[in-house]
Amino acid sequence: MDDARREAEHFVNNEKAFHLGVLPTEQSHPKTRGLAEVIAKDTRAGIRMLQTVDEDVTTTARRVFATEEFRRLVESLTAAIKRGGRICFSGCGATGRLSILLEAACRASQGGDTALSIMTGGDYALVRSVEFFEDYMTFGRQQALEAGLGRGDVLVAITEGGETSSVIGTAWQALEAGAEVFFACNNPMEVLAAHVERSRRVIEEPRIVKLDLSSGPMAVAGSTRMQATTSELLVIGAALEMALEGGKRSEDYAAWFESLLRDLAQPSAVEAMARWVEMEESVYRGKNAMTYFGNEFLLDIFTDTTERAPTFSLPPFRKCDDTTSPRPMGFAKNPLHSTAETWRRMLGREPRCLTWDAALYQKMGAAERIWRNPPVLNRTELFKFLVGNEDDPSRYAGAGDCAALVLAGAECVTSGPGTILGDAFAAAATKFSTRAVLSVGPTAPTGDVCHVGCELPPSPIKLWDHLAIKLVLNTISTATAARLGRVVSNWMSYVETSNKKLIDRGTRLVAELAGLEYSEACYELHRSRAQLAQTPVVAGERLSPVAVTLERLRKQE
């Protein structure tokens, strides 16, 4: 028996806890079936198809805002703030980035150490996914232990699937230390309890308050960076804002979100997004790159840009001393500040990075491949991603490389010529072949701009600015990937397989599109994984095991 067959059989027979096809967030949405074919013919029609799924979030929000669990969340956050306790958000991948965003928004509004976040893998994972970390409950426990959570604190554990081991670990550790614990997820509690043992234990624990944010499948199957994290940002952001600023009513948030969706669906807004998608597509098809510049909302830009790598197998952000990895198609920079200062301003604090050694990994039960070669995730390595205003010739080395300024809210009227941000971007952009400006908000900057017009209600944590820019960037990046052929119907055909959940997702995709049984699809996927372990990059392009598998099976027909 070859190694691929052995590994596939092990996954099929012994990793059933990660067979998640029964969960709604892992299924395909009927509203977007055929998305790839539609958007290839008509960008605007494809964008509208994507937007229809965002409407599901409104229904979810109205339901959750009326629950006792949401009321308890607001009360607990309010009490923690009054008594000087800390509010901690924990997550992994997309929800980890959301947790960091919620912390940063709270710090920007309140100052001090009112909020903190736990991202599986530490802040380094904001930039680059750390393979298989999410599979370990012990890793989440250790991070929560290091955060010092205890009596008087509140932990909001956020996991879109409701089954992420590392996030569940943070919940158990915080509970045992005496903190109040809330558990928010985007699948129905009864489905999770029936099919996922680690989730059932949390759901049946009466001391943990559960928030069921389920809204059904994502616009692109399994892409939980979209509607799942949108509903989490809306609901948890509303609770945080109500705790920080009394007098606001939960029912208003659903109405405001519905109004935002109407604004983004207006023909002028769709046209602006379509123009941007087609511009990005042209840049990438020419083997060129985009560098997104921002300031106040750089973390939002950062989140969308880094999430494209695992979602569509695009080259991830590259460190300044890395001369062998493919150049990232997208990157994010702040034209005003150095890399170290950009990190501090973006996070509202010093970066929190992991410095775990082999002995600790062994103690936590990590696989041998991890403890024998512990990943280097410290601050020194994080600062090698030059996200500040340092010159980086690799970003403008291509004949068609583009510098893109992304603005939201009040920034749209304070970033033109003669302003600090506007002049800094203009100076940085002189070395690029082309430049573009995307603005999201009620007022458009002067000049040639792709402006997505929308009203943004006042908010102490700029919740609506964050929601608007998230919705716009998620739509743009997904539509661009679909036009580049990285989506089949409404499935992520270029999905990564860097953890067990993604191996399952890739297996199900191969099974559905190639007409195979799950076990055989798993074997074919592991064959491709073994092949790519030897040749992960071809002609500068990062290859997806799923895409390679589907192509090989097509040739065999």
Residues facing residue 210 across a β-bridge: 183
| Radius of gyration of the CA atoms of the chain, in A | 22
Instruction: Please report the pLDDT score of residue 539 as a whole number.
Output: 58
In a domain, 548, yes or no: yes
Q: Per the domain annotation, does 109 fall within a domain?
A: no
Residue 536 belongs to domain spanning: 3-28+491-556
Residue 217 · residue 24 · CB < 8 Å: yes
Full-model pTM: 0.93
Average pLDDT per consecutive 10 residues, the chain (557 residues; last block may be shorter): 87 90 91 96 98 96 97 97 96 96 94 92 92 93 98 97 96 98 97 95 98 95 93 98 90 96 98 98 96 97 92 89 92 98 96 97 96 96 97 96 96 84 95 96 90 96 98 98 93 84 90 91 92 72 83 84
Q: Is residue 48 part of a domain?
A: no
CA distance 280 to 46: 15
pLDDT digits 0-9 by tens, 107-146: 999 888 889 999 999 999 999 888 789 999 999 999 999 9
Per-residue model confidence (pLDDT) at position 536: 66
User: Which residues on adjacent β-strands are paired with residue 331?
Assistant: 291
Of the CA atoms within 13 Å of residue 81, those in its CB half-sphere come to 21
Provide the residue type at 363 as one letter.
K
Q: Are the C-beta atoms of residues 422 and 416 closer than 8 Å to each other? A: yes
pLDDT score, position 381:
97
Residue 9 lies in a domain: yes
Task: Give the 3-state secondary structure percentages of the chain, helix then strand then coil, rounded to 5.
Answer: 55, 10, 35
Residue 288 resides in a domain: no
As a whole number of angstroms, the distance between CA 246 and CA 244 comes to: 7
On the 0-12 / 13-18 / 19+ scale of CB atoms within 10 A, 398 is middle
Give the model's pLDDT for residue 17.
Answer: 84
Question: pLDDT of 201-257, one tens digit each?
Answer: 999 999 999 999 998 999 999 899 999 999 999 999 999 999 998 878 998 999 999
Please name which of 318, 341, 322 lies closest in space to residue 330, comparing C-alpha atoms.
Answer: 318
Is residue 400 in some structural domain? Answer: no
Domain count of the fold of the chain: 1
- Is the residue at 522 inside a domain? yes
Q: Which residues contact 274 (CB under 8 A, 6 or more apart)?
A: 43, 44, 47, 479
d(CA 514, CA 228): 28
In a domain, 510, yes or no: yes
Please state, in angstroms and rounded to a whole number, the distance separating the CA atoms of residues 204 and 215: 22
